[in-house]
Amino acid sequence: MDLYCVMGNPVEHSRSPRIHARFAELCGRQQMEYGRRLIPLGAFAEGIAAFRGEAAERGDVARGCNITVPFKFEAAALAQHTSERALLAQAVNTLRFDADGGIHADNTDGIGLVNDIVRNAGVPLEGKALLLIGAGGAAAGVLGPLLDAGASRVVVANRTVDKAVELVRRHAAVALRHGASLEAWALDEVPGAFDVVVNATASSLAGDAVPVKASVLREGGLAVDMMYGPAAAGFMAWAQAHGAVARDGLGMLVEQAAESFEIWRGVRPPSAQVLAEIRAELK
């Protein structure tokens, strides 16, 4: 049996085991199990070693894992090779344990968001104006893939402007390669309106008002919160009230899982179907 898991702290509410179990069923002939492991703070490397060791004791093989809060920033240190997008994000959400003993590190969050916007929401990003609110780990994980998807104008706005400036600086070469404009602004000074607005802050979770003015939303534009459930409700209600199409982060969650699954198994799972199923289960 090939073993996978999600490692984090906390991790008990993770929907990844459910998503990967459905992927495995729908892809057929997948001899795999996907669990969740609570890793003590400060013991990430030990957690990986324990996962691999326990799998071997059972006669199984640990093939990889997803990594969630707060370990995304330290996972790359264990890997022999790290993807370009994970290097740019400075965060890893997927490890693959290869047969030669090597560990490959990747970040599928950004491509998960892009695939959800383009394929599931049906909004192409080519040539679009995009506002990314936030400049923490969640925003860093998606900015590179959003630029790669062809957005022609991208603004990063953050409460702490210096962090937006730093994130923009780190992505300047990617923007240049695509001929895109990339700017950093303070939240209340963002100029213009956008086809797509992505909320990568925890503002809804904190119960705070949406931190940007409603004029950033274009009528009929798309507004995506990277969270889902109650944590996304405030932002989505605000977006809808101002004429935008609101979307939560459940699609991103399923699509980042699909990308990880393909990295591990070499098979593309039917993510749109699983997204519909998980959404129905949450109702």
- Using CA atoms, how far apart are residues 28 and 271, in angstroms rounded to an integer? 14
Whole-number minimum distance, CB 232 to ligand ATR, in Å? 13
Residue 48 and residue 64: Cα distance in Å, rounded?
9
C-beta closer to ligand ATR: residue 189 or 208: 208
Q: What angle do CA 58, 63, 64 make, to 5 degrees?
A: 120
Which CB, 82 or 203, lies closer to ligand ATR? 203
* Residues designated as active site: 72
Of 48, 38, 51, nearest to 11 by C-alpha is 38
| Lookup result for tokens 């892009």 | 114
Q: Tell me whether residue 62 or residue 88 sits nearer to ligand ATR (CB atom).
A: 88
Distance CA 180, CA 185 (A): 16
Helices 161-170 and 137-148 pack at an angle, to 10 degrees, of 40
Buried b (16+ CB within 10 A) or exposed e, 138-161: bbbbbbbbbbbbbbbbbbbbbbeb
Contact footprint for ligand ATR (CB under 6 A): 134-139, 158-160, 163, 200-203, 206, 208, 211
**In the bound complex, what is the minimum distance in angstroms from residue 158's beta carbon to ligand ATR?**
5
State which H helix or E strand residue 173 sits in: helix 172-178
Give me the least distance between CB of 69 and ligand ATR, in Å please: 7
Looking at beta carbons only, is 125 or 231 nearer to ligand ATR? 231
Closest distance of CB 185 from ligand ATR, Å:
13
